[in-house]
Amino acid sequence: MTCSTSSASSLDTSAQFQENNGQTQSTRWDEQQKVFALEQVCGVFRVDLGQMRSLRLFFSDEACTCGQLVVASRESQYKIFHFHHGGLDKLSEVFQQWKYCTETHLKDQQLTDEKTCMQFSIRRPKLPSSETHPEENTYKRLDVSAWLHHLNGSGQVEEEYKLQKAIFFGGIDISIRGEVWPFLLHYYSYESTSEEREALRLQKRKEYFEIQEKRLSMTPDEQKDFWRKVQFTVDKDVVRTDRSNQFFRGENNPNVETMRRILLNYAAFNPTIGYSQGMSDLVAPLLAEVLDESDTFWCFVGLMQNTIFISSPRDEDMEKQLMYLRELLRLMHPRFYQHLSSLGEDGLQMLFCHRWILLCFKREFPEAEALRMWEACWAHYQTDYFHLFICVAIVVIYGDDVIEQQLPTDQMLLHFSNLAMHMNGELVLRKARSLLYQFHLLPRIPCSLHDLCKLCGTGMWDSGFIPAVECSGHHPESESCPYGGLAEVSSPKPGSEGKRGLKTRDVFAFRK
Amino acid sequence: AVTVAGAGAAPRGSPEASLDPDHLYNVLFVGDSHVGKTSFLYRLHADTFNPHLTATVGLDYQVKNVVVDNKRFALRLWDSAGQERYHSITKQFFRKADGVVLMYDITSEYSFSDVRYWLSCIQEGAEDGVAILLLGNKTDCAAARQVPTKEGERLAEEHQLMFFECSAASGHNVFESMVSLIRLLKVREDELKNKAEEVPKPPQKKKGCCW
């Protein structure tokens, strides 16, 4: 099968198609390079069908083997592939069987046996309205005027819950991110007045430069140790972080140096956490929105303190996250959970989602979409673990193949890492919001998920309704369920009276 | 979005992937951060150098199919994050690995002195017969070299490791070292098979104390 391509469009189609030499703006270019290099080796190309509108086949011979494949984007740009020596029939078979395509019949299509054209439209994953949060679409993106509406005369946020809810559903307009993020990241308190914030900024700036001063005046021994433990890695990481972002692009970009200083100062400020790889991925977008060095630093401090999922990626934290996620999957997507269980311990480790959690989806979605997810998580609306609902949403939307093909652990990792940068972030977010809503409606929850909303004030059952807690039975340290859950199945394993053994139903008191 | 790439979970890489390999090995890449593990794998896969690869977070996975000595080998290559984060995962993979590639950077003494640390991890976590390849990467940066070739050789000899110096940037010894590792893995596999065949011969005592 020989195939040549030609473009027919008023615009440069190479910008829309990922081909051997094409470029896309949306994909991060290092990922893209990886893809291109692979494609050159394998002699393949790819088109993101999610961005396309239709596929049409025009046959030029009676046998329907030669002709053209025309791929049309939603902006009515066309890519034409010529099949001079057959093969088009095979392609049409593939399209006919492929679940992401639907054959659509053209108007005035010839009724004779002779086929000259076939058309397929692209099926996009959709959420039926029954599966969306009932309050979906009730909030617009938070723009300047809406933001000012949330502030009173002295610049205090009037009702923080309302603001958080608005951000959770609608996100924040790019123009005011730098202004609002510091609240979400606990740098500014919601009660602070504009005046107080200005004073805080000045004071914090002074503090920041004192931290830097201290870092720069280390003894030679300390310096050596710091270089080895922190600086060496930071130096190598900052130059390869988000360089395709306009803000960090180009040689000797001063913003890269600023990012470097922030990370070094953070490690000096908090030596127990120091620097761990991935932090640069998290600080870069903050700097690009907040702009001021000291402000960014303190926002980052807040981020590291208040977002459990990245602040301390120690084994036990990660284990806890994974345990919650497993339980959520068991509850909300039993088929997938069953598949994981069938793979045993390896499957339940859920390797495929570790990076999702560690970097909060930064490498799974184009930045614009990833930052929407960050904001939705930072809003701490009804739960501190919204990121886990996003994980479940990804699995619900993109995990069917895993179950159908019974993919083993490694193939599952491959499946999801191939999906990175090709998923629909907006859809995932909407699904995640609806999953949270469904969780909210559950009449009973397993005690393993009891703490899922412990840290965020009244939590998700603020309307007064409290679900029954059901003991899922694994309390190695205590004889009875520390959450007062009633055991349904077998009684928990006997063991020594643990620290938490004495807690009973009064844990629920905070909700009343 | 529906994508060509995501829809079928097609294995990255060559079409050979669909062919049934004769042998299949799990190979885990470890070593300090920035020694070039991901770049090495990238070179192996795409035969080019990409200086802008981001730091690996979590675990990456690729399948590489190679024909060596007229046999088809499938390598499952696990790329780990150099910086210790979620230790229990790496540990788990040591256990499963048929081979470990332990990489250091010849321009960084520290990365070389950490080789001993990584060896202790392997010793602790991996099966006894695991094949270990010690790789000194970045030979293209000869001017910045801090670890003499001899040092690497000595360490390899001491611990009975296979040893190469290589460069993911230039491609030097990238394929050669992997082919050698594959041959070693094959030898180890054959040894294990032979052992397994020999074992049933003596009368089977379940609670024997003779060994």
Angle at which helix A174-184 crosses helix A293-306, to 10 degrees, equals 50
The answer to whether residue B18 neighbours chain A at the CB level (below 8 Å) is no
How far is B159 from chain A, CA to nearest CA, in Å? Answer: 26
Question: pLDDT higher for A467 or A59?
Answer: A59
pTM of the model: 0.77
% of chain A with per-residue pLDDT over 70: 76
Instruction: Report pLDDT for A26.
Output: 40
Tell me the one-letter amino acid at A88. L
Greatest alpha-carbon pair distance for chain B in Å reads: 63
Q: How far apart are CA A256 and CA A239, in angstroms?
A: 7
How much is the average pLDDT of A434-458?
78
Q: Is the pLDDT of residue A508 over 50?
A: no
What is the pLDDT averaged over residues A193-220? 97
How far is Cα B134 from Cα B121, in angstroms, rounded to an integer? 14
pLDDT for res A449: 86
Confidence at residue A47, expressed as pLDDT on a 0 to 100 scale = 73
pLDDT tens digits, one per residue of A461-504? 555 456 777 777 666 655 567 666 665 444 444 443 333 333 33
Q: Are the C-beta atoms of residues A360 and A377 closer than 8 Å to each other?
A: yes
- A474 near A494, Cβ under 8 Å? no
Calculate how close chain A gets to B204, using CA atoms only, in Å: 31
Interchain pair A37, B110: CB under 8 A: no
Whether the CB-CB separation of A255 and A296 falls below 8 Å is answered with: no
Q: Is the model's pLDDT at B161 over the cut of 70?
A: yes
Which band of pLDDT confidence, cut at 50, 70 and 90, is reported for residue A20?
very low
Query: pLDDT band for position A107 (50/70/90)?
Result: low
User: Which residues are CB-neighbours of A27 under 8 A, at least 6 positions away?
Assistant: A18, A35, A366, A421
Q: Is the model's pLDDT at A152 over the cut of 60?
A: yes
| Residues A6, A406: Cα–Cα separation, whole Å | 40
- Which residues in chain B have their CB less than 8 angstroms from residue A415's CB? 6, 9
What type of residue sits at position B32?
Answer: D
Which pLDDT tens digit goes with each residue over A304-338?
A: 887 655 545 567 778 888 999 999 999 999 999 99
**B11 contacts in A (CB within 8 Å)?**
414
H-run or E-run covering A121: strand A117-122
pLDDT for A86 equals 86
Using an 8 Å CB-CB cutoff, list chain B residues near A282: none
pLDDT at A9 over 90: no
Domains for chain B: give ranges and CATH numbers: 23-192 (3.40.50.300)
The span from the CA of B73 to the CA of B175, in Å, is 14
With CB atoms and an 8 Å threshold, state whether A42 touches B14. yes
**Reported confidence tier of residue A253, pLDDT bands at 50, 70, 90:** very high
Long-range contacts of A266-273 (CB under 8 A, 24+ apart): A266/A297, A266/A300, A266/A301, A266/A304, A267/A226, A267/A229, A267/A230, A267/A234, A268/A211, A268/A212, A268/A214, A268/A215, A268/A226, A268/A230, A269/A211, A269/A301, A270/A301, A270/A304, A273/A304, A273/A311, A273/A312
| Helix-, strand-, coil-residue percentages of chain B, each rounded to 5 | 40, 20, 40
Q: Cβ contact (<8 Å) for A46 and B87? A: no
DSSP lists the bridge partners of residue B75 as B25, B64
Inter-chain CB proximity B46 and A34 less than 8 Å: yes
- List CB contacts (< 8 A) between A18 and chain B: none
Sign of CA dihedral A336, A337, A342, A344: positive
Q: Which residues of A touch B91 (CB under 8 A)?
A: none
- The CATH number assigned to the domain with range A315-508 reads 1.10.472.80
Distance from CA of residue A114 to its chain's centroid? 48
Residue B47 near chain A (CB below 8 Å): yes
Dist CA A36 CA A458 (whole Å): 49
Average pLDDT in the B176-195 region?
A: 94
The pLDDT of residue A125: 66
Does B3 contact A49 at a Cβ distance shorter than 8 Å? Answer: yes
Answer yes or no: CATH 3.60.15.10 is held by domain A186-306.
no
Cα–Cα distance between A53 and A121 in angstroms, integer?
6
Own/partner pairs for B197-204, CB < 8 Å, 24+ apart?
A: none
Res B140: pLDDT: 97
Question: How far apart are the CA of A276 and the nearest CA of chain B, in angstroms?
Answer: 7
Extents of the domains making up chain A: 49-125, 186-306, 315-508
Q: Looking at the predicted structure, is the pLDDT value of residue B23 above 80?
A: yes
Whether B45 and chain A come into contact, CB under 8 Å, resolves to: yes
Task: Pick the more confident residue, A58 or B187.
Answer: B187
Contact predicate A164/A458, CB 8 Å: no
- Say whether pLDDT at A70 is over 50: yes
Distance CA A493, CA A511 (A): 29
Nearest CA among A301, A298, A299 for reference residue A204: A298
- Contact present, A336 and A405 (Cβ < 8 Å): no
Return the closest-CA partner of residue A53 out of A69, A22, A76.
A76
pLDDT at residue B86 greater than cutoff 90: no
